[in-house]
Structure 1
Amino acid sequence: MYLDENGDLATGYNIMNLIFLQDTTLKHQMVGRYNPYAPPGQDFTIDEKAIVWESSFTQKPPQFRCTPSCHPGYRKLTREGEPICCYDCIRCADGEISNQTDMDTCTTCPDDQWSNQKRDACIPKVINFLSFKEPLGITLTSIIMLLLLITAVILGIFIYYRDTPIVRANNRQLSYILLVSLILCFLCSLLFIGHPEDVTCILRQTTFGITFSIILSSILAKTFTVVTAFHATKPGSKLHKWMGSKVSNFIVISCSLIQIVLCLAWVFTAPPFAYLNMRSEIGTILIECNEGSVIAFYCVLGYLGLLACISFIIAFLARNLPDSFNEAKYITFSMLVFCSVWISFVPTYLSSKGKYTVAVEIFAILISNTGLLGCIFSPKCYIILLRPERNNKKNLRKT
């Protein structure tokens, strides 16, 4: 016998059957062979029919195990301190199989496959993503389309009653920009549903960041308009030159442009991409969008948070100004809802997996947008549609 450095046989050998003849002589007969260089499963061969057993044996072939054979799906585990033929049958772990009897080890399935329930075959993993066809995707899509329709109706109301005092109050052009941005933001939520691709992964984050920055920039410009409108009425005030639409447009364009630069830097340095997550859930392949650069992702969110905080602080300080239909108090409530939603979003987003991570982000977008829509525009729609007698300059000053 020759053993290599690992203790394995370096050469093959024949398996001989020792036969005791009636004349007390011995006879050697080859019944098998072991070849360490043969392919797996062919290294050990034996011809059971050629074996001659002792006539006194009551069982042929004799039972040589302490336990029955281990079926496919199980592996052998030798009992400590007992002969090698005594072992326990251990079920293969998740992701491992054994498809033969009495296997010493289980075989690990490929990354894109998983073990079946019997652990005797590898089957393809289930592909999982937030689809338009599943109940969660259908529910989110329905909510998005409903909110989209409501926003479009409000925009139509504001355009139809564009010359009334309630619409003209606090810059109607900003109201149009805000409503159109909300419509675009609701539409971009649909990009989060469906099979992730590299293009959709890039678009869903960048369009979300840019449209949200336009929304918050418009709210900031509205808040600035409220403050300057009040102080410009004071005797000797020099704020009349800040009352035009040029200042509001400058605020919207400049604040949005910063976000556009951040998004472009993100896309050109480390853009988001689709990837297959095979480790998060057992037996499942999660198709997800990787942010590419986590720093860039949180810079985009952080800039939105900065705009929201500035708008909230200014609106809160100006909420009690005696201006005609003071929008500051409504903006304060809307920013309070917005900040609450996105502060709770971060830990929830980090603790979610797979399609539920996407669902959390969609919910955050929808709830924050609905808060803005409801707090800022529902009071005006109430007066326009249900209390038209109050839609005049005299009554607005008393509001």
Structure 2
Amino acid sequence: MSTTGPYASKLRTVQSVYERKGQLLQPTVYESEQDSENCQKCPDDEWPNEEKDKCIPRIVEFLSYKKDTIATVFSLVSLISFILTIYITRIFVLFWDTPIVKANNRNLSFILLISLKLSLLFVYLFIGRPVDITCMLRQISFGITFTVALSSVLAKTIMVYIAFKATRPGSYWKKWLGVTLPNSVVLTCSSVQVLTGALWMSVSPPFQEYDRDSYPGMTIIQCNEGSVFAFYFMLGYMGFLAAVSFGLAFMVRTLPDIFNEAKYITFSMLVFCSVWVCAIPAYLSSKGKNTVTVEIFAILASGIGILSCIFFPKCYNILLRPEINNKRQLLEKRY
């Protein structure tokens, strides 16, 4: 079987893999001269040259700043998005008591911004040579921070619905207004993911793995997820929260409120679900650093999607349309 595919140029000095009776055999290297009866196997981190008279080091592959331009691009996008999130947080702090900021629970907005900041920063855990500690931290940090963000979005959507129902005289929903319900939603939904992550890390945590079988003459340093069930449960749970938020926000997107953000939540959850629905098949069909690239892209795209869909319209109104950011406009256009 000859060496073909995207790594052919790197493996010109690597001999072909021997195949016998459907099984791949470890190539051997001759000790002294060709056709010698005595031969020895190359070490695991080496591979025989074309002449088969000595061992040469295998090519080592992982997503690296030195070799991969895409790693630098991801780093810059993550840094710029993080700075932008800080700037949006500053705007919300400066206009903390204005109607736009107060309309849809400013505490939830603050929690959402913090979780998005962390999720954007945790991208750096995916870049560079993986070791056991980074393999564990990258998945658990990504899962928890995004779950907190999605829980905050779900709580905001629930509060939009309750706020509209509570405007009716004698409404039963008035007792649910306040900070208790949204805080409970965030805490409960996030606790499920935290508990899952704790069990995952204690029973079968991710670890560093050397893949020497996928490509001849190459060692792929990657993270083995440990428990595959825990990994996909984490993704599935986040997908469930996003789907519930999308469905509820879609139902209340047309409520008569000038500061109703349900339509922005609808778009943000649509972006989130679309990104991950496309990313998961690409993740499953890729190997090595391509797998990490797909996951980083999905994290950045979904995080930036939530940030832009929910907060950009608010910042636009706060900074460029200050005339609508007052209580009088809120009362006049509420119905």
**TM-score grouping bracket, smaller chain normalisation:** 0.7 to 0.9
| Residue 300 of structure 1 pairs with residue 263 of structure 2 | no
Question: Which of 140, 147, 172 is the aligned partner of 1:238?
Answer: 172
* Alignment partner, residue 66 of structure 2: 133
State yes or no: 1:124 paired with 2:47: no
Q: Tell me the secondary structure at the aligned position of residue 287 of structure 1.
A: strand
Secondary structure of 1:244's counterpart equals coil
Cα displacement (A) at 1:190: 1.0
Post-superposition offset of 1:339: 0.4
Using the TM superposition, give the Cα deviation of residue 320 of structure 1 relative to its aligned residue in structure 2, in angstroms. Answer: 0.7
The answer on 1:266 being equivalent to 2:231 is no
2:79, 2:153 → 1: CA distance? Answer: 23
**Number of matched residues?**
309
TM-score by length of 2: 0.87
- Opposite residue 129 of structure 1, the aligned amino acid is F
More helix by share: 2
Alignment match of 1:275 (pick from 209, 222, 231): 209
Unaligned ranges ≥5, structure 2: 1-14, 17-24
5+ residue gaps, structure 1: 1-72, 75-92
Moved more, 384-393 or 374-383: 384-393
**Partner residue of 1:29?**
none
Aligned partners of 1:226 and 1:323 also within 8 Å = no
Name the CA shift for 1:95/1:386 in 2 (closer, same or farther; >3 Å).
farther
Distance in 2 of aligned mates of 1:116 and 1:137: 31
Instruction: Please list the CA deviations of residues 311-364 of structure 1 after superposition, one character each: whole Å capped at 9, or x if unmatched.
Output: 011001111111231111000000000001111111100111111111110100
- Aligned partner of residue 65 in structure 2, secondary structure: coil
Separation in 1 of the partners of 2:34 and 2:234? 57
Deviation at 1:118, TM superposition (A): 3.6
Deviates further, 320-329 or 244-253 = 320-329
In the aligned structure 1, how far is the partner of 2:36 from the partner of 2:333?
87
Q: Which amino acid aligns with 1:266?
A: W
1:329 paired residue among 238, 263, 282: 263
Percent identity at matched positions? 53
Q: Which amino acid aligns with 2:305?
A: G
2:123 match? 189
Equivalent residue number for residue 361 of structure 1: 295
Larger Rg: 1
Cα distance in 1, alignment partners of residues 218 and 156 from structure 2? 48
Between 1 and 2, higher relative CO (CA 8 Å, sep ≥ 6) is seen in 2
Asked whether the 8 Å contact 1:169–1:324 carries over to 2, the reply is: no
Decide whether the 8 Å contact of 1:162 with 1:168 is kept in 2: yes
SS of residue paired to 2:241: helix
Contact 2:150 2:241 in 1 (8 A): yes
Q: Does 1:224 align with 2:152?
A: no
Distance 2:144 2:99 in 1: 31
- Give a deviation string over 1:180-205, Cα, whole Å, max 9, x none: 10001111111111221111111111
**Structure 2 residue 330 is matched with structure 1 residue 398:** no
User: How far does residue 388 in structure 1 lie from its aligned partner after superposition?
Assistant: 1.3
Residue 213 of structure 1: SS of its match in structure 2? helix
Deviation at 1:132, TM superposition (A): 2.9
What CA distance in whole angstroms lies between the structure 2 residues aligned with 1:324 and 1:242?
A: 22
Q: Does the Cα contact within 8 Å between 2:125 and 2:138 map onto a contact in 1?
A: yes
8 A contact 2:166–2:174 mirrored in 1: yes
Is contact 1:112-1:124 (8 Å) kept?
Answer: yes
The one-letter amino acid paired with 1:206 is: I
User: 3-state DSSP class of the match of 2:171?
Assistant: coil
Q: Would the aligned equivalents of 1:178 and 1:214 in 2 still touch at CA under 8 Å?
A: yes
Q: Is the 8 A contact 1:166 1:391 kept in 2?
A: yes
Answer whether contact 2:119 2:145 (CA < 8 A) is retained: yes
Aligned match of 1:256 in 184, 187, 190? Answer: 190
CA distance in 2, matches of 1:240, 1:132: 54
| Aligned pair partner of 1:344 in 278, 281, 289 | 278
1:24-77 superposed Cα distances (whole Å, 9 cap, x missing partner): xxxxxxxxxxxxxxxxxxxxxxxxxxxxxxxxxxxxxxxxxxxxxxxxx99xxx
Query: Whole-Å Cα distance in 1 between the matches of residues 35 and 241 of structure 2?
Result: 67
1:94, 1:115 within 8 Å by CA — same for their partners in 2? no
Cα distance in 1 between the residues matched to 2:243 and 2:41:
52
Alignment correspondent of 1:319: 253
* Partner of residue 153, structure 1: 87
